[in-house]
Amino acid sequence: MAHSNTPGLQRFLDRLTARSVLSAEEQQAILDLPGHTGQVEANRDFVDLNEVTEYACLVVSGIAARFGQNAEGGRQITALHIPGDMADLHSVVQPAAGSALQAVSAGTIMRIPHWSIRAAAARHPALAEALWRDCMVDAAILSQWVVNVGRRDAKSRIAHLLCEVAWRFRVEPNVAESFFSFPLTQAQLGDATGLTCVHVNRVLKSLRQDGLVKVGNRMAHIFDWNGLAQVGDFDPTYLQTQIRPEERLRIVQRT
């Protein structure tokens, strides 16, 4: 049972060690985190707005979305989380959820008790630092979303989003063509970009006709990475994903 948790935690650990330096012992502390793994059906909210949680949700498979709502019930997706992301890591330190979480597609979620993460962070200060840094990467992404929604037109917005997700999936950008799982409906794409599903449809058609990307059947198929990145005005620096090993950070002294 404990071992069945490992794949999800391993991907989370990979995410941490991509940016932070952790000792073998610290890494093991992550892999040893306890939790309940369970299925979530598509379109199911699994953390409600203003819910006070006692666990953080690790996405093991599928895609999760964080979203807010306006007065008329219009949804705005504020973050997408792919496998290996801790969708509400911030809840460790701020348990009142400021926004709800929804499964975009059917998937698997591991609920990891706050106390266990807190205990690991208290025992290993470098872990606390790595977790804090991980939250800051999500904040940098969020900040880019504001720019995307506020200052780009529909075509750029969608192109940018597709680039971001592809990049986070580590789709190889050098390969001319690339494929990845993209289970968002057009309505959800609209909720992520501040557009209506009708307009998303037209924009996707236009991107397809330009020979840049084809989205559908729960997949995205990028034909022209450079072209897509250009219309999407996409610069991956903010994702902090191309960090060379020697650039990874550790402030806390090794004990």
The interface mask with DNA, positions 67-106, x = CB under 7 A, is ----------------------------------------
According to DSSP, residue 250 is labeled -
Question: Which among 53, 2, 57 has a CA at the least distance from the CA of 31?
Answer: 2
Q: Which of 18, 42, 135, 141 binds DNA (CB under 7 A)?
A: 42
Q: For its own copies, which is the closer residue by CB, 77 or 215?
A: 77
Q: Does 152 bind its own copies (CB under 8 A)?
A: yes
Run of H or E residues at 173 = none
Q: Which of 38, 98, 211, 216 binds DNA (CB under 7 A)?
A: 216
How many C-alpha atoms does 82 have within 13 Å on its Cβ side? 15
Q: For DNA, which is the closer residue by CB, 147 or 198?
A: 198
Greatest alpha-carbon pair distance for the chain in Å reads: 57
Q: Which of 146, 197, 198, 219 binds its own copies (CB under 8 A)?
A: 146
Select from DNA, its own copies, none the partner in contact with residue 253, using the beta carbon and a kind-dependent cut-off of 5 to 8 Å.
its own copies
Instruction: List all residues 6 or more positions away from 205 whose beta carbon is below 8 Å from its beta carbon.
Output: none
Give me the amino acid identity at 174: N
Q: Does 195 bind DNA (CB under 7 A)?
A: yes
Q: For DNA, which is the closer residue by CB, 208 or 248?
A: 208
* Residue 69: strand pairing partners: 75
> Pairing relation of β-strands 45-47 and 100-103?
antiparallel
Q: For its own copies, which is the closer residue by CB, 80 or 109?
A: 80
Q: Does 187 bind DNA (CB under 7 A)?
A: yes
Is there a contact between 148 and 161 (Cβ–Cβ < 8 Å)?
Answer: yes
Q: How many residues are present in the chain?
A: 255
Q: For its own copies, which is the closer residue by CB, 217 or 253?
A: 253
The interface mask with its own copies, positions 54-93, x = CB under 8 A, is ------------x-xxxx--xxx-xx----------x--x
Q: Does 155 bind DNA (CB under 7 A)?
A: yes
Question: Which among 24, 18, 60, 54 has a CA at the least distance from the CA of 39?
Answer: 60
Q: Does 194 bind its own copies (CB under 8 A)?
A: yes
**CA dist., res. 111 & res. 101, Å (int):** 13
Q: Which residue, chain included where needed, has tokens 């591991």?
A: 110
Contact residues: DNA, CB under 7 A:
42-43, 153-155, 185-187, 194-199, 201-202, 204-205, 216
